[in-house]
Amino acid sequence: MNSTGSGGAGTPPSPWRTYRRLLSYALPYRLMLLAAGAGMVVEAGAAAAFTSLMKPMVDQTFVQHNAAVRWTLPMAVVGLFVLRGLATWVTDVGMARSGRSVVRDLRTTVLAKYLRLPSERFDREPVAALVSRLNYDTEQVTQATSEALKVVVTDSLTIVSLLCVMLYQSVRVTLAMLVVAPLIAAISGYVGARYRRINRGIQTGVASMAQAAEEVLSAQQEVKIYGAQAQEAERYRALAQRNLRLNLKVESTRASASSVVQVLAAGALAVILVVAGREAAAGRMSAGSFVALMMAMMALIPSLKRVTNIQSSVQRGIAAAERLFAVVDEDDEPDRGTHPLGRARGELVFENVSLRYDGAPAPALDGVSFRASPGTVTAIVGRSGSGKSSLIRLLPRFYQPSGGRVLLDGVALEDYRLSDLRRQIALVGQRVMLFDDSVGANIAYGQADADAGALRRVADAANASEFIDRLASGMDTPIGENGGLLSGGQRQRVAIARAMLKDAPILVLDEATAALDNESERLVQDALNHLIPDRTTLVIAHRLSTIEHADQVLVLDQGRLVERGTHAELLARDGLYAHLHRMQFREDASAP
């Protein structure tokens, strides 16, 4: 069977390449980002202008006692802060809008990609882990594309502008302070690499926690019956504890880096005081220049701390983006067919078909051959694990045969366009998948142009109108998650009505009545009798009594087709089918 690359395979790309690709998703919002960027420039400029005003304020107000500046300079300070406030608003709104838009686009892209992945991809990673990528990882991307980017750009511009102010006031003092810059850069690089390693583990841990929680909550009845609450709580606690340790490592690294930066800044301050004293003694620095320089220095330290600490959010976002792009870069399910297909006649031929799942010790199907003609019913029976469901999965090309081929109307399935092929197939399974919407929306699923009359006709034919008319809002009644507000038989009849509305030439019934009581089975079986005529029908049967009138019965065992014939012929042959029939007859006879 063909396989596709896993989302986590291969060497991850460089962080900068990943981040650059992430930022490319922001290109449609460039105008918003330009406005935010302008706001950042104004913020940084206002900080530099405020510190620059300290020199005339000190020299002319306190040293020279110039009355003319007593009102003008304070008003200038107020004006600067008003301007900075407006710039901050523009920056915050612009970055939030563009960042959240990027997250929305990424979520849409990843979900669309999930729906294009081959079915075997979902065998390798639990749905809970996929949902974690979609929700948690994209949320981490927000930090890297909006909040973190704002801090990096604004504070970097602030640092540069304040350094310019300091150089203007005294080149010697500023250069003396810059001796610590290489150390701060080295700390930032180390912290970034450490954050990246830890955050990959955190995101994997979050996916594991989501998977464990979904499993135990879905099976809450079994957990309670077997008294395994403590066991499951401990399993989840162990996962949460591992995530706690990783998060504490992040915080410890952040706090250590921040403390070291502060110590280095204190050392730089001591150097400044020594050099500034010398400059003042030599007459090259006034009191106002010293105050302006010191204020610039004090304003620069918080920006340095934020730039160092923001590495956590940036690296978390990059690690999340790597996981998301790993999915986006996977191969779609193969769709190289070019043969047009309007409505098929429904002639199905299996020619020596084999199927082996990745990593499986034995083939799921081994050399299966048969023909199913339009207007006939082909029943597929066998013990659990004999390959019944695997055979059905080949029809819509959820899986590709490892050997042999399947033909529809004389053309190999892989030669048809995937959308054309799947339009020919309707499925009614034992496990009906409904959506948290109204009854009518579930019947019309995939058929958006269906009118009320068509919905009513198929509901009548599927014996669904009997319960729909008793619902509070009829067709418009919400049915809850996966139709949880309906009974099993009602869900099956909604699924049959959906299949009738699709009106496909090939009908697949996957144990459609296996889990129903006698009354529900009668109603569902009667609905199926309206659906089956004039179609090529394949029935996976659990209750052999429901397939006595099938045109042919295929008996599978360990992936091989061991018997074929009508119900009566197979009973007369006294083989595996007859054995299964006797076993089920005894079970039915002994049931109360």
pLDDT tens digits for the chain (592 residues)?
443 334 444 556 677 788 888 888 888 998 998 999 999 999 889 888 888 888 777 777 666 666 666 677 778 888 888 998 999 999 989 988 888 888 889 989 998 999 888 888 888 887 777 888 888 888 888 777 777 788 888 888 988 888 888 888 877 777 766 666 666 667 666 666 676 667 667 767 776 777 777 777 766 766 765 677 888 788 888 888 888 887 787 777 777 776 776 777 677 677 777 777 777 777 777 787 878 877 887 787 778 777 776 776 777 788 888 889 989 999 998 888 999 899 999 999 999 999 998 888 889 999 999 999 999 999 999 988 899 989 999 999 999 999 999 999 999 999 999 989 999 998 887 778 888 899 999 999 888 788 899 999 889 888 889 899 998 899 999 998 878 888 888 888 898 888 888 889 999 988 766 556 666 667 777 777 777 778 899 998 877 777 888 899 999 999 999 999 999 999 999 999 899 888 876 655 444 4
pTM, two decimals, is: 0.73
**What does the longest C-alpha to C-alpha distance in the chain come to?**
120
B/e letters for 423-436, b = 16+ CB within 10 Å, e = fewer, are: bbbbbbbbebebee
Give me the helices (H) in 219-228, please.
220-225
Distance CA 92, CA 433 (A): 43
CB 462 within 8 A of CB 496: yes
> Are 64 and 177 a contacting pair, CB within 8 Å?
no
Instruction: Find the helix packing angle between 229-281 and 287-309, rounded to 10°.
Output: 160
Of the candidates 116, 101, 129, the residue with the CA atom closest to the CA atom of residue 324: 129
Instruction: Retrieve residue 96's tokens.
Output: 């939030």
Strand, coil or helix: what is 369?
strand
Q: Just give the CATH number of 15-328.
A: 1.20.1560.10
* Predicted local distance difference test score (pLDDT) of residue 5: 39
Extents of the domains making up the chain: 15-328
Structure tokens at 315: 């690296």
pLDDT of residue 1: 47
Please, how many CA atoms are within 13 Å of residue 24, restricted to the half-sphere of its CB?
8
- Work out whether the CA dihedral 126, 130, 131, 136 comes out positive or negative: positive
Q: Containing H/E element for 504?
A: none
Give me the count of residues in the chain: 592
- Contact between residue 462 and residue 530 where contact means Cβ atoms under 8 Å apart: yes
517 CB burial (10 A radius; 0-12, 13-18, 19+): exposed
Q: Which residues contact 491 (CB under 8 A, 6 or more apart)?
A: 432, 434, 483
CB 560 within 8 A of CB 575: no
Please tell me the predicted confidence (pLDDT) of residue 434: 86
Task: Characterize the bridge pairing of strands 536-540 and 377-382.
Answer: parallel
pLDDT given for residue 193 in this prediction: 66
Q: In this structure, are residues 52 and 292 in contact, taking their beta carbons and an 8 Å threshold? A: yes
398 phi and psi, to 5 degrees? -65, -30
For residue 289, the cross-strand partners are: none
Q: Which residue has the tokens 């006595």?
A: 548
Task: Count CB atoms within 10 A of the CB of residue 564.
Answer: 15
